[in-house]
Structure 1
Amino acid sequence: MLSAERNETLTRFGPGTPMGELMRRYWYPVAISADLPVRDLRKVRLLGEDLVLYRLSNGSVHLHEDRCPHRGTALSYAIVESQGLRCAYHGWLFDGTGACLEQPGEPADSTFADKVRVKTYPVEELGGLVFAYLGPQPTPTLPRYDLFCWDDAIRDIGHTIVPCNFVQIMENAVDLDHVAWLHGRYSEWLNSRGLPVEIPKTFSRLNREVRFDSTDYGILMRRQLEGQDASAEDWSIGHPLVFPNMLRLGGGGSFGFHLRVPIDDENTWVLWYTAYRPGGLPVPAPGPITSYDVPWRLPDGDFRLDHVEGQDIMAWVTQGRIADRTRERLGTVDRGVIMLRQMLFDQAERVRQGHDPMGVFRGPGSDRVIDLPQEVEKFGEGTGFVRDFLEAAHAKFSTRKPEIVRRYAEVGLDLGIAP
């Protein structure tokens, strides 16, 4: 368990807090590129800060504080013009750098506009996502993790907002024992009680042994399932948690990033970014990177438990908006959770001492593509993992599911799913 003071430190991300200062050293997705058309704007909230994101007619994307410096009106209700945002209240115009270009109510010879700026943050697009950085200067390099840079795979992005703290979602990423119980045995039990749940067969085997290793990028997680030996890729390769907010996962020709974005202390934007290379082969003409919503609520407000992510979200949200870790009782099965928490505290201390935390890239060569390890034969089931992924997990909601199934068939891999 944690003391109330330590739990407070762990879960607060506002400016000036220990975790808030740590988390502001990293880039986060704030939008899906395809969902932000030209001349569009949207309100964004990240790490407890209210922001406005917009795209100009030249395709460039910009991010400002959601507050006009004149009278404080929200710029998320502004007019998008060719040069930038014009505040709806009095018509002040700001360009993408934050400079004030026009103040219609001021005298023609006034230089007042030269003294006014709106706070602006760096943004970059990569792999179909818009990333933002809220931290101090100089701005670090946006990491070019491999899947974001592939152009020969079918890529899509599932996403939803989850009403709970970021940390309890990340703790799930290093909890290897929950898979067989929450997604295997629990699905079987729900099915036996008449809830039509597609049981993910490859998720039902218990762990024989698990291991967590600290790496330069976070934590490498490995497992041996019952019936496996040390040659199994789940043990010999494993998969990583990329500190502070990303899990790498996949198998059978699917490769994924689970990204968790702290909106504020009590809400998290969760994204499932997947790249498909059936048989490990490049895909000709893979098409655009699309997005889809992942539903997890029923009409009556209860949890939707007929897919893996719905079950995960139930486990996260029922801990409370911010989990009370003073009441928990951790066992040896939780050593990955303990490691992640200590890593968060340690990296926050590095920032307090004036150093970059782990996973921050700068200087020559920092824009190279970073290849991450991931077992291909997930659970030793080959394409069985992909079948379960498309039938019982978030990918069942993808608008590209029929295309993905067809692509597998074209390379001689029958998933047993009707396209």
Structure 2
Amino acid sequence: MLSAQENERLTRVGPGTPMGELMRRYWHPVAAAAELDAHPVKAVKLLGESLVLYRDLQGRLGLIGDTCPHRRISLEYGITEAEGLRCPYHGWMFDPTGQCIEMPAEPADSTFPCRVKIAGYPVEELGGLIFAYLGPEPVPLVPRWDLFVMDGIWRDIGVTEIPCNWLQCMENSLDPVHTEWLHGHYYNFIMGHRNQRDARGQRFVDRLTPHHVKIGFDVFDYGIIKRRVREGGSEQEAAWRVGHPILFPNILRVNWTFQIRVPMDDTHTWHVMYQAYPPPPGEEGTPQKTVPVYDIPIQDERGKFVTDFVLGQDMMAWVTQGPIAHRDLEKLGESDAGLILYRRLLRDHMAIAEQGGDPMNVFRDPDTHKIVHIPVEHSLIDTAKAGALSTGQAPYSALLDDVEAAWAKVSAAAD
């Protein structure tokens, strides 16, 4: 159990808060690059700040404050031009740093534009995602985690805006025993009552949910490795021997997927499901032109949580704890050792950030930061052959043909 004050320190992410200052030491994804192909301007909320992301006609990315300082209208409706983003109201132009560079109604020799600047932050594109950095200089390198930069794979990106604090999403990843109940017994309960078929039209079959007989957690170079042994298993299996990595501070690695929990503000999280696959047959060696992006549903048309797939079950559990979980009321047991370790790691690195140091996974040396390989339990090919994705979607080949259509079919089948 945490005190209410400790809970505040771990959950509040706005400017000047201890956790907010730690999180500002990291690059965070704020959009899929494909989103700006559809429309070059996107409203972004990150670490309590309201911003606008845009791509100008030169192809440059900018991330600036979302309000024009002239008459205070939203720049979400701005006009992209070669030199930046122009306010649609009176034409003030802002470059990618937030500097005003043109005021059409002011005299040509006016120095007023150079005296007007709004917030502007560094942005970089990597692996089909656009990352932003809101922290102090010098700016670190964007982490080159293996799935972002590996050759010879294709990718897609599923996103959800979740109405709860980011820490609830992450703590779930340090809680291995929930899988046998939430993703096993509960799944069997709801699907058995509905006599459902899966995405391939096959009749529902009970999930095997062996009981955990042993769990363990180790801090490693990039975060925490969680380990498990289930009934009938042993420590020689990959689930214990290799384990399951959590990348500090806010990424879960599941086989060939990253789940990235981006703190939008204190009570909203942008959840990114970043998945990698071998290319479809006949496309080996062909670069993927665009990394597709799609929405993962959280609620149905009745406002009920969609809980017939793994991530949907997790999202229900996260959100129903409330906008910010009351950790001062919780009662933890021995099986919660992973949560306790993770909270300790957060506190330790909050202190490092407060003292001006670099916390875990802040990278600065480009010569040693080409690709960061992460240990995983299964191989890429084995995961692909398994067929169904961890999100409950259709096999990856269908997604590569048409992500939206594949997800629509799965959603329809679940009704």
| TM-score between the two structures when normalised by the length of structure 1 | 0.88
State how 1:185-334 maps to structure 2 within 5 Å: 185-194=185-194, 196=196, 198=198, 204-250=209-255, 255-277=256-278, 283-285=284-286, 287=288, 288-334=290-336
Contact 2:57–2:80 (CA under 8 A) maintained in structure 1:
no
The aligned amino acid for 2:359 is P
Moved more, 363-372 or 306-315: 363-372
Aligned residues: 395
User: Cα deviations across residues 104-133 of structure 1 (Å, max 9, x unaligned)?
Assistant: 121122122222222210000000000000
- Secondary structure at the residue paired with 2:269? strand
From the superposition, tell whether residues 303 and 38 of structure 1 become closer, same or farther in structure 2 (CA, over 3 Å).
Answer: closer
**Matching residue of 2:111:** 111
Could you list the per-position Cα deviations for residues 180-216 of structure 1 after superposition, in whole angstroms to 9, with x for gaps in the alignment? Answer: 1111111111122226264686662222211110112
Shift of 1:100: 2.1
Give the match for residue 353 of structure 1.
355
CA contact (8 A) 2:191 2:308 kept: no
Task: Report what 2:68 is aligned to.
Answer: 68
Q: Aligned runs of 1:357-396 on 2, under 5 Å? A: 357-376=359-378, 386-389=386-389, 393-396=391-394
What secondary structure is seen at the aligned counterpart in 1 of 2:374? coil
Does 2:136 align with 1:131? no
Q: Cα distance 1:158–1:213, how it changes in 2: closer, same or farther (>3 A)? A: same
User: Matched residues in 1 for 2:195 and 2:137: separation?
Assistant: 52
The residue type equivalent to 1:264 in the other structure is D
Partner of 2:35: 35
Aligned-partner residue type, residue 210 of structure 1: I
The answer to whether the Cα contact below 8 Å between 1:9 and 1:19 also exists between their aligned partners in 2 is yes
2:38 & 2:95 partners in 1: Cα distance? Answer: 15
Q: Is the 8 A contact 1:123 1:131 kept in 2?
A: yes
Q: Distance in 2 between matches of 1:13 and 1:399?
A: 39
Q: State the one-letter code of the partner of 2:229.
A: Q
CA shift in 2, pair 1:214/1:86, >3 Å: same
Structure 1 residues 351 and 246: alpha-carbon distance in aligned structure 2, compared to 1, 3 A threshold: same
Alignment match, 1:342: 344
Partner-residue secondary structure (3-state), 2:343: helix
Root-mean-square deviation over aligned CA pairs:
2.5
Q: From the superposition, tell whether residues 396 and 109 of structure 1 become closer, same or farther in structure 2 (CA, over 3 Å).
A: same
Structure 1 residues 223-255: Cα deviation after superposition (integer angstroms, max 9, x where no partner): 1222222221111111210011101112xxxx1
Shift of 1:26: 0.4
Q: 1:318 to 1:385 in 2, by over 3 A?
A: farther
Distance 1:383 1:201 in 2: 20
Would the aligned equivalents of 2:387 and 2:395 in 1 still touch at CA under 8 Å? no
Aligned residue identity for 1:151: D
Deviations 1:259-311 (A, max 9, x none): 111111101011111111389xx943263321121112121101111111111
Listed one character per residue, the Cα deviations across residues 129-165 of structure 1 (whole Å, up to 9, x for unaligned) are 0000001111111010010002311211111111110
In 1, Cα distance between equivalents of 2:284 and 2:211: 34
Of all paired residues, the percent bearing the same amino acid is: 47
Q: Does the CA contact (< 8 Å) of 2:277 and 2:384 recur in 1?
A: no
How far does residue 385 in structure 1 lie from its aligned partner after superposition? 8.3
Instruction: Name the SS for the 1:235 alignment partner.
Output: helix
Gaps of 5+ in 2: 199-203, 403-415
C-alpha separation between the residues in 1 aligned to 2:235 and 2:393? Answer: 30
Moved more, 184-193 or 157-166: 184-193
- Larger mean Cα displacement after TM superposition, 68-77 or 265-274: 68-77
| Cα offset, 1:384, TM superposition | 9.3
